[in-house]
Structure formats: structure tokens, C-alpha cells
Amino acid sequence: MTFDRITPRRTRVGLVSGGLGAYWPQFPSLLPQLEASARRVSSRLSELDCEVVDAGFVSDAAEGAAAAEKLRVAGCDLIIGFLTTYLTSSMLAPVAQRSGAPVLLLNLQPTESMDHESFDTGAWLAYCGACPLPEMANAFRRLGVEFRSVSGYLEDERAWTRIERWIKAAGVRAALRHGRHGLLGHLYPGMMDVSTDPTLVSAQLGGHVEILEVDDLRVRVEKVSDDETASRVALAREVFTVDESVVDEDFAWGARVSVALDRLVEDFSLDSLAYYHRGLDGETHERVGAGFILGASLLTARGIPAVGEYELRTSLAMLVMDRLGAGGSFTELQALNFRDGVVEMGHDGPAHLGISARKPLLRGLGVYHGKRGWGVSVEFDVKPGPVTLCGLGQRRDGTFSLIASEGTVVPGPLLRIGNTTSRVDFGCDPGEWTDAWSASGIAHHWALGTGHRVAELTAVADLLGLELTVVRP
């Protein structure tokens, strides 16, 4: 790509390590060993693309309370308590209670196992981090504090994979809690499934939904210069293969709208955008509504998901997938292929260009199916290999849920109509999968991302307090 992705806010992880101070005079070599382990954990965490706020090593309840205050002020996205040996629950309880952040407990002993022939009590105590874990779990439950834990040893890559999963999930939670989500235009008439109360987003996920008018974009489109438009056309020619069906006038208009979209996002500090406007008889508002796809695709590739049809919940699902490193492209069902055993899915743009199998195509459209207007659309297939679908469902009582399914993109014939079509094999009859997916509570749009991400989405759902439904027919 010849344009830069945004730099998301770094995930802030608070770390406190501890052990029972009564041991230090009894076993003089124990504390230095445990402090070395704590430094190693801090170092490994710093390698996971997060900001570590290390509150140090605590040995009693008073030091635990001081660490709790330090981490409270830091505004952490995740609190990690490293149980280096036995310590009382009173030492970590204030940390868990005051921070307002999810809590992860680590039980990482020095090596895979003890040397039973040579170990004395002091050496054993360095391997005793498992001992206080049930105590913490019981105490935290009684205090009303949710927690999760990872047990292993210091250089246990399986354990660090799980730790990284929790840190990424905390980053997703933070992106939603601190996010500003644009909602521009109006609901696509009749689409009852995609209608979302913006207050529910703030109530359940955090963040802010900014209500925008199509005129907020129109006035910015009118201020884009011819030179800026030409520069955006040149950028698009680098990013896309431009099909001969693209009309120069439509291309220039899409580029002009793209520049204006960038300014809209900057002016309102948006982290995502959902939009729709119908318009009438070729007037300016209709042309603005039809000119989104180029600019929305470029925004999405930069890490600012932008979707059509006023699909706020799908823009949020795309944000989740993007922050997990999975991309996340606007997607719906297109057709079932029972001969090849695949489900064909995609959309007429916008798309996440970062997960295209090849250089994406820009195709000219005489009409947007089901929508007013004409212009240019993005066409590509997602990279072959494992993929995950992720959607944000909404129940009758208004509560959100995450819905996911893992499959594999496989090669084969695709539509050439300006859609982001992919052939996905879910390892079962396409009809059975479609029935199960539809019964999950999903709306008719979702995010399609690369990689199998259910394990990561399980952590995300946990930290967000949402139920996760995984469709595996």
C-alpha cells in the first residue's frame, strides 16, 4: 500500500508482581529470584506491542494498596497480577477493585518442573505461584471482581500465546470504550435488522456515536480542489487496477468524495463510520451517497472501518477484526454453491484492501443494485486460507452478542460485478451452514477477516461481557 495506516492508541497494561514478605528473612535468595522473574515478565509484556505500567513488587497488603492507587491513576486497559509465589488475596484485592480494568492473573513458574532431588523449601517456593490462585479466584468472586488466569512457566510459549490473546482483547475493548463512531445519513428503508440504538453502543461497549448529516460531507466535498482530486486519482491508480469500465468523471467524483471523507473523519475524530443516503434524481446528495466506496475502502484499509447501509454494528465488528489484525471486510451472503460445497459472500464495497488476494480492482457501475446512483466499486477476493466471520448481534431485550464462524477461502469462479466476492468452505453442506448462521441472531451483514480468530474473539467477548455464539454445524 502507498498510504499509511493510522496508529491506534496503544493498549495500556498494568503489572503488579508479588509474594509473601514473611518468606524473605527465612529464605534470603528467594526474593532476588522472584524479582528477576518479575522483570522477565515485564520485558516479555513490553514485546507484545503494549505500554506496560509496572507497579513493582509487593510483599504485603499495604504495598498492594499503594500499587492499586498507582494503577488506578494510570488508567489501564488490563491489570496483570503475577503470582510469583504464595501471597495473600488481601494483597491483590485492592488492585482488582480500584482499577476498573479487567484482571488477568499469571502463574508462571521458573521452569517446566522442579528438581526434586536438590530443591529445599526456599527453592520450592519459587514454583508455588499455583498455590494462591484458587484463593484469589474465591476472594475475587466474593468481591464481585471478574478475573481470568494463565498458568505455565516463564518461557512457555503456549502460555504466552494465551497472554497475548488477552492483551489483544484488552486492546479491542479499549478501542470500543475510547472510540468515536460516525453514523451518517439515515437507515436504509425497511432494513429492520440493522437498526441500532446509538445509546446501546455507549451503554454496552463504551465510546460515543456521532450523528452526522449528509451535508457534513457535502460541504467538505465542495471544498476539495481539483489538484487534491487529481492527487487522489493518482493514489487510487497505484492502489487499484482500474478496469476499462471506469468512467473518468465517476472516478474523479469518487476521488473528490474520498478526500472529503478523510477530512470528515479528521474533523470529527472518528474511529469508524457507517453511512447511507438515498437521494433523488441525480442531485448532489444522491451523488455524494453514491460516491463513498472508493474513499470508504481507503479509510478501512487505514484502520478506520467505513461501511454502507447505515450498518453501525457491522462497522464495530469490522473495528474488532481490524484491531485483532484480521482485516475485516463488509460482507453479506450472495449465493450457495452446492456443487463445490462453498458459500459465496461479499458486498458491493466498501472493502478492507489489506486482505485482498491480489491488487484490488476498481470497476465502473452503471447502477448500484438496490441503491440510487452510479459510480465506481471495489472488486476482489479475500486471500485463500483460513477466515473468520464476526458480527455483532442484537437480541430482543437490546443486548449485544458476538457471533462468529470459522471457514476457509478456496479458489474458484467469482462474479465480476464490482463485488468483494469470496468462496468460503465451512466443512459442511452450504445449506446447513447457512441455516445455522441465520439462526444465530446475526444480521444480514458482518465482517470477514483472515485467520481463525474464535480463540481471540472468545477473549474479546469475555472482556466486553458479551455472549459469544460460534456457528459450527
Q: What is the pLDDT of residues 190-203, one digit of tens each?
A: 999 999 999 999 99
Same domain, 131 and 224: no
Domain termination site, one of 125, 148, 176: 176
Same domain, 365 and 382: yes
| Angle of CA points 440, 442, 444, to nearest 5° | 135
Same domain, 108 and 205: no
Same domain, 422 and 290: yes
Domain termination site, one of 176, 202, 230: 176
Task: Evaluate whether residue 4 is within a structural domain.
Answer: no
Q: How many domains does the chain contain in total?
A: 2
Task: Evaluate whether residue 1 is within a structural domain.
Answer: no
Task: Evaluate whether residue 255 is within a structural domain.
Answer: yes
Same domain, 169 and 183: no
The pLDDT-based confidence of 1 (bands split at 50, 70, 90) is very low
Kindly provide the residue ranges of all beta strands, DSSP E only, lying in 115-264, ordered along the sequence: 147-153, 180-185, 208-212, 241-242
Query: CA-to-CA distance for 436 and 439, rounded, in angstroms?
Result: 5
Domain termination site, one of 176, 194, 221: 176
Task: Evaluate whether residue 109 is within a structural domain.
Answer: yes
For residue 248, the enclosing domain spans 179-470
The 10s digit of each residue's pLDDT in 72-110 is: 999 999 999 999 999 999 999 999 999 989 999 999 999
Same domain, 146 and 65: yes
Same domain, 216 and 151: no
Q: Mean pLDDT over residues 101-125, rounded? A: 96
Same domain, 194 and 319: yes
Global pTM value = 0.94
Contact criterion met (CB below 8 Å) for 109 and 129: yes
Same domain, 367 and 338: yes
The 10s digit of each residue's pLDDT in 265-317 is: 999 999 999 999 988 888 899 899 889 999 999 999 999 999 999 999 999 99
Same domain, 147 and 191: no
* CATH number of the domain that residue 387 is part of: 3.20.14
Distance of CA 395 to the CA centre of its chain: 21
Same domain, 154 and 202: no
Residues 6+ apart with CB under 8 A from 422: 331, 344, 345, 346, 381, 382, 387, 409, 414, 448
Task: Find, among 323, 30, 44, the residue nearest to 178 by Cα.
Answer: 323
Same domain, 254 and 224: yes
